Structure 1
Amino acid sequence: MRKVIIAFVSLLIGLMVAILFQSNQQPEDRDTRDLWEIRTELRDKQMDQQNLYDQIREAEQTLEQYQRQSNEEQIETLKKSVEQLKVKAGLTEIDGRGIEIAVEPIFKESLDGQAYPTIPPELLYRLMNELYTYGATDIAIEQERIIDVSPIRVVNGTTYVNNRPLPPVPIKIYVLSRDSQKLLDYMQVSKVNDYFAVENLEISYRVDYHLTLPAYNHPTDLEWIEPVDSEEAGDS
């Protein structure tokens, strides 16, 4: 049992390393970002990497703790660790207070019955950067939970989030925050609203004390990872 648990925890550590590697290897088809966007993305990447490093250290400490415990204590600690990792990774549904964001066209009468195009990825990134800067902890765009490796890109003129097409506006974005009123106050005067207005899009915000965000339920490409041999893990 000890070897199995140690091997499993080692696999969890490998999973977090893989996420870190994958987030650094995300391809860019064509870089059309301005200096502000590049600096903002660099800052966010650095924060993501630091968070993952911290999680790896926590997992390593947990592994050392397992090695000093009885089998029953190991199983109980393992269950708690797995649940904590799922929550941190966005793999579980989560409830809490936050804000609900509605994005819709400003001039609805000019659409002539046609659906408005989906929101460009660069606008979504700007919006999420502002939200995280001012205290957002978790975000879902419609029913797509955003995590560290969530891809947002354009395919044939349609914006895809987590490899699923984003519907045309109006859409809803759900955001959890420890201080929802403070986040609301910041976002209502944020310059990101002007960027959306240029694209004929209007953003409205409201506080919601009973939000539920879905779990991230898409596969993550970890083909290059190999599990640690249980005998080797037990001997270390």
Structure 2
Amino acid sequence: MKKKIVTRITIISFIIGLMIAVQYNTVQNPTTRDTRDIWEIRQELSKQKALHSDLLSKIDRVNQSIGQYENDSESRQAALLKNTVEDLKRQAGLLPVSGPGLVLEIEPAKELIQFGYEIEPISPDLLIRLVNEIYRYDGRYIEIAGQRLTHTSAIRFISGETTINSVPIEEADIEMKIIAETYEDAEKLYGYLYASSFRDDFYLDNLSLTINEPQQKITITEFEGQLPTDYLAENNEGE
């Protein structure tokens, strides 16, 4: 009996010791380490601060609109409400929009075509990466090959073709329009894209990416499809 108790205590002690050793090793040697240097961390912090500042600016604009609603006369409130609705429609993609921005051109690399390289359709992954970086660096509205991007847009690879809003990109040459909030934002976006590795990434896929200089006015068309309203409900209060 005594022997069984000693055996059980030994086994339990071994298990506890093993767990402590594993825990200690995990603390001392974490599986993932942040290998970024101080400069990279400062850059990331700067991006987050810029995002925070942008959010505060948007909150301030909304508060100003609320203040105008509360202080203006009934006729002015109606006009302000109409302008707000039109602005929301532009943001949702239901209206055309014009403003400062830049145009990108994607086409097969001519020198590679001459040497007989096969040109594949543009990769959805590469296009999504580019779109995400454009939004990250203050690109506000985007149109690709005539297709307006909205919050519900999808870029997918279907039946051997890259599609945007379920519409296949059939042309080898693609024009991409981008509108920013201000001309200064458009210049910053141009500088970032020009200095980035995206042109090399496109060249690896046998494509050429041309980044044109910013323009004072670019026009993007409205979204041609039907926006989903699955999560919207009609509010009849006040009728």
Query: Which residue is equivalent to 1:30?
Result: none
Measure the CA separation in 2 of the matches of 1:111 and 1:225: 52
- Structure 1 counterpart SS, 2:122: coil
- Greater Rg by CA: 2
1:215 aligns to 2:222 (yes or no): yes
Aligned to 2:169: 166
User: How far off its partner does 1:69 sit?
Assistant: 7.7
> 1: distance between equivalents of 2:129 and 2:105?
16
In structure 2, C-alpha distance between the alignment counterparts of 1:165 and 1:111, rounded to whole Å: 25
After superposition, what is the alpha-carbon deviation per residue over 1:159-189, rounded to whole angstroms, capped at 9, x for unaligned? 1111211123221111123223332222112
The Cα RMSD (Å) is: 3.3
Shift of 1:74: 4.6
Tell me if structure 1 keeps the 8 A contact 2:95–2:222.
yes
* Counterpart selection for 2:108 from 102, 105, 108: 105
The alpha-carbon deviation at position 58 of structure 1 amounts to: 4.8
1:81-128, Cα deviation, whole Å (9 max, x unpaired) = 21121122222212222211111122122568x8x4431211111111
Count the aligned residue pairs: 178
State the one-letter code of the partner of 1:212.
Answer: T
Which residue of structure 1 lines up, in the alignment, with residue 194 of structure 2? 188
Residue pair 2:187, 2:214 contacting (<8 A) in 1 also: no
Distance 1:72 1:182 in 2: 40
**Counterpart contact for 1:188–1:205, Cα < 8 Å:** yes
Counterpart contact for 1:117–1:169, Cα < 8 Å: no
Choose which of 210, 213, 235 in structure 2 pairs with 1:228. Answer: 235
Counterparts in 2 of 1:203 and 1:77: CA distance versus 1, 3 Å: same
TM-score in terms of structure 1 length: 0.63
Sequence identity percentage:
27
TM-score, L = length of structure 2: 0.62
What is the correspondence of 1:54-65 to structure 2 with a 5 Å cutoff?
58=62, 65=69
Q: CA deviation at 1:195?
A: 1.9
SS in structure 1 at match of 2:238: helix
How far off its partner does 1:73 sit?
Answer: 4.5
Structure 1: 5+ residue runs without aligned partners? Answer: 1-46
- 8 A Cα contact 2:120 2:205, kept in partner: no
Q: Is the 8 A contact 2:98 2:220 kept in 1?
A: yes
Letter of the structure 2 residue corresponding to residue 169 of structure 1: A
AA at the equivalent of 1:196: F
Deviations 1:144-172 (A, max 9, x none): 11122111111101111112111232211
Q: Which residue of 2 aligns with 1:134?
A: 137
Alignment of 1:1-236 (within 5 A): 58=62, 65=69, 72-106=75-109, 107-110=112-115, 116-177=119-180, 178=182, 179=184, 180-209=186-215, 210-229=217-236, 233-234=237-238
Given the superposition, is the C-alpha separation of residues 77 and 228 from structure 1 closer, same or farther in structure 2, using an over 3 Å criterion? same
Distance 1:220 1:110 in 2: 44
